[in-house]
Amino acid sequence: PAQDALSPRFNHVMLYVSDLEASIAFYTEAFDLEVTQRVDQITVRTADGTESTAAVRMAFLKFPGQEFVFELSEQVPNAGGVSLHYQHLGVDVIDIEAAAVRVQAAGGADYTGIRTVRATGGIEAMNAFFTGPDGELVELMQMVSGEF
């Protein structure tokens, strides 16, 4: 599991797709990736205890024997017709509070605060988002239970 690995380390990249099943078929056929998890609901709890639940269409894919996760999320393109397909880069950490302080000190902006996210399939993680120098999203992730 991620907690036993070096920290920090890259965990995942998320890609927005218009048709989850078509993208799964393409990436599994083209690259021998395997679907390790499907998620149809997530619940997010903020630091103040507020919870919200959302229906989602997501899948986690891995190469056999590798830990890096390719996350696909079915999304409707924005109103302008242009979709930013790359969504964010996920970084596993052992101590999310210390990592958040370090990222902010390095110039990470738009800090969301630490939240707890539960997803179908027994996954629970603490996460926080920042923006990097060009506005790119970076997610810190500390796994609580389950795995991708």
Strands 86-92 and 137-145: parallel
Query: For residues 51 and 91, what is the distance between their CA atoms, to the nearest angstrom?
Result: 24
How far separated are the first and last CA of the chain, in Å rounded?
9
Q: For 10-43, what is each residue's pLDDT tens digit?
A: 889 888 888 899 989 988 887 788 999 999 999 9
Q: For 122-142, what is each residue's pLDDT tens digit?
A: 999 999 998 877 677 889 999
Strands 115-119 and 123-131: antiparallel
Query: For residues 53 and 120, what is the distance between their CA atoms, to the nearest angstrom?
Result: 11
Query: For residues 88 and 147, what is the distance between their CA atoms, to the nearest angstrom?
Result: 18
Query: For residues 62 and 9, what is the distance between their CA atoms, to the nearest angstrom?
Result: 16
